[in-house]
Structure 1
Amino acid sequence: MWTKGQLTTYREQGFLVQRGLIPPDQIERLRSAADEMMSEQADNPPEVHVVREKSGPVRSVFCMHRNVQPFRALCRSAPIAGPIKQIFGDDAYIFHSKLNYKESFEGTVWLWHQDYGYWRYDGVDDRLASALIMLGPNTRNNGSIALVKGSHRWGVLDHYSDEITTSYKQWCITPEALREHITDESMIIPIEGEAGDVCFYDCRIVHGSNHNFSPAQRYSLIYAFAAIDNVPSGVENPRPDWVVARQFEPVTAELPESVAGTF
């Protein structure tokens, strides 16, 4: 659980980084589960949704939390679910989860955006937050996430649809809005770290990540949480449930025995 000071820092900055929050043995189980699943079912794993780079390597794997036991257990564990409940002042459910790979020299960018730039069209309010868990080193060279400190206070900036830059359709902040709001490079905070480090961040914070220029693969696991009563509604053409949840089970719900034993 966070101290009052940590919660205040999160609210002021729009994010909070905790070093070494997930122990090495748990990180190893997560890495092994991901690698095993992808090696055995590389073409179309049935329990997840895979997005690939234009050049072929995996870019993202969605819905890891539903059926892959170590990932299902982690999102309900005290180090992750505890701070999320403090942020909302209530229970939460998984809005979506994804494992973002960046293959060495091929992993591509996530352009500057706000998550709520996408999610506002899913019929939810802005009571959403994410936890990014580093499953290996995250560096500037291999494409670590960067955040713009305090940008969660700017409201939702102008976004546009980009279907060209990468294989995944992105809602990105317009260059005009970026130039207006990001006036000094010191506002951009690169979040570098080691396996087990966790970054919690607000759905409105401006963030992105660069191409992987290094010989090392980058692994980042992201759980997006919504307040328990913040469910999608009133959307004429809803996005698929691998990216927007249709299951609203609270993360504090009792774990099945087979899952609880993994953490």
Structure 2
Amino acid sequence: MTAVAGTTDLDQFVRTGDRYPTRVSNTPAFIDRAEPTVWGDRSSTGMCGAQELDAHERDGFVQVPRLLTPDEVAGYQAELDRLANDPAVRADQRCVIEKSSEEVRSIFEVHRISEAIGRLVRDERMLSRARQILGSDVYVHQSRINYKPGLGGGGFYWHSDFETWHAEDGMPGPRAVSCSISLTDNHPFNGCLMIMPGSHRTFVSCVGETPEDNHLSSLKEQEIGTPDPDSISKLAERHGIAMMTGDAGGATFFDSNCMHGSGDNITPYPRSNIFLVFNSVENTCVEPFSAPKPRPAHVGSRDFTPVR
């Protein structure tokens, strides 16, 4: 455990069973990851090849070009447009509207709202890879679609998803994998996903306390649970920054503890994606580690039924 600035001592939380204490100290800290990145047996059959598993273990992510066919991309893009323009969906608590406009930013638990995306969750192209990486059956911890329209789509500041899922959802360890499926071409200039390769091996303990119902504001713009500038700078110096660019239909599978983010989209070229989070059934959520109560189930599921 390394203090980023000054000194800190989080050992008391480690001794009580929390390997990754966060939001409990006024000083940020780096905590080395103890768990594997690839949990599955390398000899097991599945959609992931040896090179993909090696990349995921080394970098914390792997890109899969052309995961979806052009016809599938067109179908899912039409589904996203339909959902964004459905008054009932826009009025649902699972729909998040941009702070600066009336544009839809995200729709959560979308695999339960959309039959098409519900089928995608069970697709072996997703499910097989998630099982290989996590070494077990999996369930959907979170699903959503993200819209980043041209000329105004807001970004996502640097963060580790696991930090939030641990602090606010009660996810014990970083044994979860996210799959971001692009439905538009991702360019370096239209707010593409950025990841620090290798950052999944370091947990950044953040400062501050979790307010009541923090998700109501954090889903629009996250503040609590984001690393301090010095921590971000040190990780960037250590690991660099990779941009997840590519054609529509490609996907990025990345570890739950990867430091990642995306910038605002000030270009005319929109960016949208389907975002699926698979968690191991051996890593099911307990009570939050640093929040008054769990977030709503549509943000962090409490249904641990394996996906079949």
- The TM-score range, normalised by the shorter chain, is 0.7 to 0.9
* RMSD of equivalent CA atoms: 2.2
Contact 1:130 1:200 in 2 (8 A): yes
**Correspondence for 1:83:** 129
**Which deviates more, 56-65 or 10-19?**
56-65
| 1:241 to partner: Cα distance | 0.9
**Correspondence for 1:257:** none
- 1:128 aligned to 2:176? yes
CA distance in 2, matches of 1:237, 1:164: 16
Contact 1:38 1:45 in 2 (8 A): no
Structure 1: which amino acid aligns with 2:86?
Answer: E
Contact 1:109 1:166 in 2 (8 A): no
Pick closer, same or farther for the CA change 1:58–1:44 going to 2, 3 Å. Answer: closer
Contact 1:108 1:166 in 2 (8 A): no
**Correspondence for 1:175:** 229
CA distance in 1, matches of 2:207, 2:87: 35
- 1:51 aligned to 2:96? yes
| 1:191 to partner: Cα distance | 0.5
CA distance in 2, matches of 1:229, 1:145: 28
Structure 1 runs (4+) greater than 4 angstroms displaced: 159-166
TM-score by length of 2: 0.76
**Correspondence for 1:28:** 74
CA distance in 2, matches of 1:249, 1:67: 18
**Correspondence for 2:249:** 196
**Correspondence for 2:300:** 244
Contact 2:180 2:251 in 1 (8 A): yes
**Correspondence for 1:143:** 191
Q: 1:212 aligns with which of 253, 265, 271?
A: 265
Q: SS state of the match for residue 26, structure 1?
A: helix
Structure 2: tracts of 5 or more residues without a match: 1-46
Contact 1:37 1:45 in 2 (8 A): no
Structure 1: tracts of 5 or more residues without a match: 254-263
Q: How many residues align?
A: 250
Structure 2: which amino acid aligns with 1:140?
Answer: P
